[in-house]
């Protein structure tokens, strides 16, 4: 059996049982990642940096994660390792410290395999906004892997990493997981420390796992969560994160939004979603299709005010003085000197999407407009959280497709920002409400059109959202469904 057939949890057990040398496992993935994961010649471009060798066996390497290699989204600071958040403005930045989420996983024995490509500062849904070029979807290299954690998703889907870390602000773990046929979990806001994550929108950003299956997601989450004195918004996880074992859904009530009909879900996605609901019923769940989330249609508008507003403030620190790129003003520039240096650094360092968000956010926060935009968006956000609270009185979890479409073609949405933003319809409400949600692959769509490897179709994601800190319940339900679905992601391994 080839080593990559082992899931991360299986590999960790094999190492801990003395049956597998963790350096051999690391070498296997590092070789595959070097060959297929870097830039050029239609390679996937999912890694922006790869470790040369497994880190020296530290005492912790015998921990529960047993030296299993981990791909880490570029925006996590890792001491001495390029950490650029997909942006040219941070080119060459090697932080002097490591993000808490990564440090905890390393303490549990994980080995950083590499940094993964992403949309610049996590702004995007396709990975086409990276300063380091787009990532290709291993299911079809003419299509996007989703974003912004597209590098992490593509690396896991292609079998170039056993698992990966991502972040989700408005869908950036779940949507790429959905489009690449893997599992992605956005935890409850505060469950995982944000310390050392290069910030996009601080009230929404949350780190989480992208994995081949639900058990691996639970295992990775278990070693990430918990209060951190270095992040005042982090919280103690109220219980141990369990490895799921549930085989049925008896007694569980799943709610489908009543207006799903009107949300433009494409036919193949709809079919895979309905099939999964049928499986849920067979497993004993009660499915209610009349869940009212009356403010959900306004989530995109609120998100695209709040996230850019917070981003415009967070990104003010990139001034060419402290980190990364510095571009001096040319001699003949009337705005020379320090201000000229700020302007040229930000002009050359930021990509178009980041500039668009900074302008939108700065406008929304400007005196005289603050109440009309930011203040109002925050009110909508409260309503969305109240909608979910009401829904969770009637059902245990709310379920939707993760995205209305399968992976789209490279370039299909770059000319029209709103069509790119609209892709986040099903994923933005949860971070606005601070609640957890998981995406699991639930089948393939598009075989009729000959899409995907050998015309088999492209993956569809099934999203399950629950109340704050319901991760154990979400993982258990996802695990039972995953077994019933029987999705085979190895089709996309390179
Ligand atoms: N696609 C959304 C955006 O562009 C979400 C990104 C994210 O979750 N980081 O903002």
The reported pLDDT for the residue numbered 116 is 98
Q: For residue 67, is pLDDT > 50? A: yes
- For residues 463-471, give the mean pLDDT: 98
Q: What is the pLDDT of residues 241-290, one digit of tens each?
A: 999 999 999 999 999 999 988 888 999 999 999 999 999 999 999 999 99
Beta bridge partners of 444: 459
CA distances from 104 to 67, 78, 211, 338 (A): 13, 12, 18, 40
CA distances from 129 to 144, 177, 331 (A): 11, 18, 31
Mean pLDDT of the chain: 96
Distance 443 CA to ligand 1 centre (A): 24
The reported pLDDT for the residue numbered 262 is 83
| 292: region left, alpha or beta (phi > 0 left; psi from -120 to 50 alpha) | beta
Q: How would residue 57 be classed by pLDDT, with cut points 50, 70 and 90?
A: low
The reported pLDDT for the residue numbered 318 is 96
Q: Which residues carry out catalysis? A: 73, 148, 172
In this prediction the pTM is 0.97
Beta bridge partners of 228: 231
Ligand 1 contact, 124 CB (< 6 A): yes
> Exposed, middle or buried by CB within 10 Å (0-12, 13-18, 19+), for 210?
buried
Ligand 1 contact, 208 CB (< 6 A): no
Mutate to test the pocket of ligand 1, among 170, 201, 308, 428 (most ligand atoms within 8 A of CB): 170
Q: How would residue 60 be classed by pLDDT, with cut points 50, 70 and 90?
A: very low
The reported pLDDT for the residue numbered 23 is 94
Ligand 1 contact, 307 CB (< 6 A): yes
Distance 176 CA to ligand 1 centre (A): 11
The reported pLDDT for the residue numbered 59 is 42
Q: How would residue 41 be classed by pLDDT, with cut points 50, 70 and 90?
A: confident
Q: What is the pLDDT of residues 132-159, one digit of tens each?
A: 999 999 999 999 999 999 999 999 999 9
Q: How would residue 61 be classed by pLDDT, with cut points 50, 70 and 90?
A: low
Atom of ligand 1 nearest to the CA of 423: 1
Q: How would residue 56 be classed by pLDDT, with cut points 50, 70 and 90?
A: low
The reported pLDDT for the residue numbered 176 is 98
Q: What is the pLDDT of residues 371-386, one digit of tens each?
A: 999 999 999 999 999 9
- For residues 124-133, give the mean pLDDT: 98
Ligand 1 contact, 123 CB (< 6 A): yes
């Amino acid at each position: 059996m080839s080593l990559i057939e082992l899931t991360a949890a299986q590999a960790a057990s094999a190492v801990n049982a003395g049956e597998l040398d963790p350096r051999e496992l690391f070498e296997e993935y590092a070789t595959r990642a070097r060959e297929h994961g870097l830039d050029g010649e239609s390679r996937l471009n999912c890694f922006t940096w790869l470790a040369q060798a497994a880190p020296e066996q530290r005492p912790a390497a015998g921990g529960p994660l047993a030296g299993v290699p981990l791909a880490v989204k570029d925006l996590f600071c890792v001491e001495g390792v390029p950490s650029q958040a997909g942006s040219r403005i941070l080119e060459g930045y090697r932080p002097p410290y490591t993000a808490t989420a990564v440090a905890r996983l390393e303490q549990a024995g994980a080995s950083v395999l590499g940094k993964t490509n992403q949309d610049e500062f996590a702004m995007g849904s396709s990975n086409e906004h990276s300063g380091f070029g787009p990532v290709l979807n291993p299911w079809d290299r003419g299509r996007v892997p989703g974003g912004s954690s597209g590098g992490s998703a593509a690396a896991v889907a292609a079998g170039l990493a056993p698992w990966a870390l991502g972040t989700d602000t408005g869908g950036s773990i779940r949507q790429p997981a959905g489009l690449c046929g893997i599992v992605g979990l956005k935890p409850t806001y505060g469950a995982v420390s944000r310390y050392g994550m290069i910030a996009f929108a601080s009230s929404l950003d949350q780190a989480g796992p992208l994995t081949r299956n639900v058990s691996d997601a639970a295992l990775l989450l278990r070693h990430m969560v918990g209060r951190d004195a270095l992040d005042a918004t982090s919280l103690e996880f109220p219980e141990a994160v369990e490895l799921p074992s549930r085989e049925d859904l008896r007694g569980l009530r799943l709610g489908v939004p009543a207006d799903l009909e009107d949300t433009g879900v494409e036919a193949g996605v709809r079919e895979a979603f309905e099939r999964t609901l049928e499986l849920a019923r067979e497993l004993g769940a009660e499915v209610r299709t009349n869940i009212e989330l009356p403010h959900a249609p306004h989530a995109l508008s609120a998100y695209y005010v709040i996230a850019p507003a917070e981003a415009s403030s967070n990104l003010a620190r990139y001034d060419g003085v402290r980190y990364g790129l510095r571009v001096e003003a040319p001699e003949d520039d009337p705005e020379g000197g320090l201000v000229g240096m700020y302007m040229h650094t930000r002009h050359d360092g930021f990509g178009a999407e980041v500039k668009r968000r900074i302008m939108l956010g700065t406008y929304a926060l400007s005196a005289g407009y603050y109440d009309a935009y930011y203040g109002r968006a925050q009110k909508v956000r409260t309503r969305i959280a109240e909608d979910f609270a009401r829904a969770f009185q009637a059902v245990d979890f709310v379920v939707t497709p993760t995205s209305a479409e399968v992976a789209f073609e490279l370039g299909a949405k770059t000319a029209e920002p709103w069509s790119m933003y609209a892709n986040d319809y099903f994923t933005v409400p949860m971070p606005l409400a601070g609640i957890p949600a998981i995406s699991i692959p639930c089948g393939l769509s598009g075989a009729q059109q000959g899409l995907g490897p050998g015309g088999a179709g492209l993956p569809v994601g099934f999203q399950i959202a629950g109340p704050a800190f319901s991760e154990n319940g979400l993982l258990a339900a996802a695990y039972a469904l995953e077994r019933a679905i029987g999705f085979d992601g190895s089709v996309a391994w390179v």
